[in-house]
Structure 1
């Protein structure tokens, strides 16, 4: 119950009780004056909410009523008037002067109609203390209630609002949507998903986004932030929205969806489910589009690198040939002294062209299920004589001869021969190559190990790059081609090396069990 209601009920009742008591006990000296003063007091009390200036003259009506009634019960009215005036005072020091003024008025009027005895003086002092204690307790109660109200409002805010943006949170938004659904008015249910929010300025982006929404949609029916970086907003059915135009200046990618009530959903769950599904479909579509664009970009970059590398590699032998032809002009176009060099350079251009075509053309499908051990035996027989002529030894070790692979046999043989020949060339003195086959789960593992000079750490990450070579007559496409062939077989190739100790190339290919 509010103070105003208590005042409106109690002041008339206490006034009537005092008038009757004063008349019966023959206390009043002027009954008509007492009734008029009581009437004016009650009129001012009933109207002081509307006319606040009445609060400041009520002490006159109260003093007149008290003096004419000669009744001490008026102290109740004084305390009520005090509370009425200090109701909205925040500080205690602002309330005490008001309380002292009223209680001094009461004491002076009281002492005017009672004997000036020690008892009555002490009673007046006690009334003053009582008034001050009443004010003190009133402030404590008001402060306590105010704190409770503040905490309740804060709790309600935290329950229904997002503290960062000032929008509703998910729970508060449900209530907003339900309120609009109950009104049965058509509206748009718009969802936004921010895709590329950086962790370092996450909150700044969200605040900027919320400000933008408020700026463009000042008459929205409700807005919320939920799930971290998602926003929802309700707009009237006729509101126009252009997401690209609104958010292009924020530097963020926004995916949005619009669902219409009641055409596409009759409750909150249906509306948000439809909206979230549309956003998911758009994000998946955008992701696939980005992947395609990235793949296309990577392909164009690789084509550019290959073209630049090919042009560079072919230009070198052509420059040599051009130089020898110019020299031959001085000798009557006799190219015999440089014939072998010219032919070797022409052969080099041919080899470069052949390897480039093998690297760049699509993989021809001659895939069959073959026994890997037989394939390795073929490679071993082709490389054994070359090893002997170079002064090296080669050892084949096929631990599991039943490994079956779906493969292009000629391509895999090409890869293994290339790896073994690289091993031969890496051993400056007579060395040993270990050629091994094993199984690792559903993968076949082929290793080519040599005890040559090894590959420095600064070069090991570059050896699969097109046109990178450490050989004087190498094209730099051999290992790149090997990697491409292995990847076409859904496998992968890796290398480990230690300078002065040797190198191990490891090829892993899925067995027929792993392909099924």
Structure 2
């Protein structure tokens, strides 16, 4: 006895839905691997700079026997070594936590870690970074996914600025009546060229880009960065609004639900 046409249609739709879900999971895993690769590549350049500082000041200390020169060399070597430890700790933490499982995430801490890896790039383009990060800002989410969001936003802002500009990053709690802090707000604001009003509604569309292609660092121009950001925000039950003015810059304001521990502490 043949199956009704409606049953066959439903089975086909379910099969297609499952296939789409599997493909989305594969894309997320590939994006996670790409993010880890990007972090490792960035950290390699950062670590190489630190290593050259150590080598050069070690040579300086060996060439000069006076106490002042050696003290200066040892101080610079210590500072460079401490920065190297920051870089390796950030990469090791990312490598250990490859899971996208949800849990409490310290958003301010994640911003600081991400800026450690982006420092060389910001310095290269002479971009000043100003932060205003509340001490305790815990959201419920995936640290991997949110760091991917941060990397995409910071890279996008750096490209919008070009050279010699300012990037502001703010993390704060948002209170709702007498219930205390219910949301954590992340703001990434740049002094870049801004986004035209007619383009603004399209910036989160997949494959839409105002750039002709990746820049000299190999980043941007694919139209996938901001689309991925929107997916991550949606998956975390967050909301995003964009404020932009041509010639004055752009701000991404994102609100995530605060974690249960954050709400309880408030």
Using structure 2 for the length normalisation, give the TM-score: 0.56
SS of corresponding position for 2:192: coil
Alignment correspondent of 2:50: none
Q: Are residue 454 (structure 1) and residue 186 (structure 2) matched?
A: no
The answer on 1:506 being equivalent to 2:249 is no
1:428 corresponds to: 162
The structure where helix makes up a greater share of residues is 1
In the other structure, the counterpart of 1:468 is 208
> d(CA) in 2 for partners of 1:509 and 1:436?
14
**Which residues in structure 2 correspond to 1:292-441 (within 5 Å)?**
358=31, 365-398=100-133, 400-441=134-175
**Alignment map for 1:111-510 (pairs within 5 Å):** 358=31, 365-398=100-133, 400-441=134-175, 442-473=182-213, 474-510=221-257
* 8 Å Cα contact 1:356/1:477 also seen in 2: no
Runs of 4+ aligned structure 1 residues displaced above 2 Å come to: 353-359, 513-516
Partner of 1:457, secondary structure, is: coil
Once residues 365 and 411 of structure 1 are traced to their aligned partners in structure 2, the CA distance between those partners, rounded to angstroms, is 7
Structure 1 residue 424: deviation in Å? 0.7
Report how far residue 356 of structure 1 moved.
9.9
CA gap of 1:457–1:375, structure 2 versus 1, over 3 A, is same
**What is the number of equivalent residue pairs in this alignment?**
166
- Alignment CA distance shift 1:468-1:356 (3 Å): farther
**TM superposition shift of 1:428:** 2.9
Question: 1:431 Cα deviation (Å)?
Answer: 0.4
Shift of 1:355: 7.6
Task: Verify the 8 A CA contact 2:207 2:223 in the aligned structure 1.
Answer: yes
More strand by share: 2
Q: Which gives a bigger RCO, structure 1 or 2 (Cα 8 Å, sep 6+)?
A: 2
Distance between the aligned counterparts of 2:123 and 2:31, measured in 1? Answer: 29
CA contact (8 A) 1:427 1:453 kept: yes
Between the aligned partners of 1:452 and 1:356, the Cα distance in structure 2 is: 32
**Runs (5+) with no aligned partner, structure 1:** 1-292, 308-352
Instruction: Report the secondary structure of 1:461's partner residue.
Output: helix
RMSD: 2.9
Deviations 1:100-156 (A, max 9, x none): xxxxxxxxxxxxxxxxxxxxxxxxxxxxxxxxxxxxxxxxxxxxxxxxxxxxxxxxx
Superposition deviation, residue 378 in structure 1: 0.7
Q: Give how far 1:429 is off.
A: 3.3
* Preserved contact between residue 368 and residue 407 of structure 1 (Cα < 8 Å): yes
- Contact 1:355 1:477 (C-alpha < 8 Å) held by counterparts: no
Give the whole-Å Cα distance in 2 for the aligned partners of 1:419 and 1:432: 14
Q: Hey, what's the Cα distance between the residues in 2 that align with 1:408 and 1:356? A: 13
State how far apart, in whole Å, the 1-side matches of 2:29 and 2:106 are. Answer: 29
Task: Provide closer, same or farther for how the CA distance between residues 431 and 357 of structure 1 changes in structure 2, counting only shifts above 3 A.
Answer: same
Tell me which structure has the larger Cα radius of gyration.
1
Q: C-alpha deviations, 1:20-71, integer Å up to 9, x for none?
A: xxxxxxxxxxxxxxxxxxxxxxxxxxxxxxxxxxxxxxxxxxxxxxxxxxxx
Superposed displacement of residue 494, structure 1: 1.8
CA distance, structure 2, for counterparts of residue 456 and residue 483 of structure 1: 19
Q: Which runs of 5+ in 2 are unaligned?
A: 1-9, 33-98, 176-181, 214-220
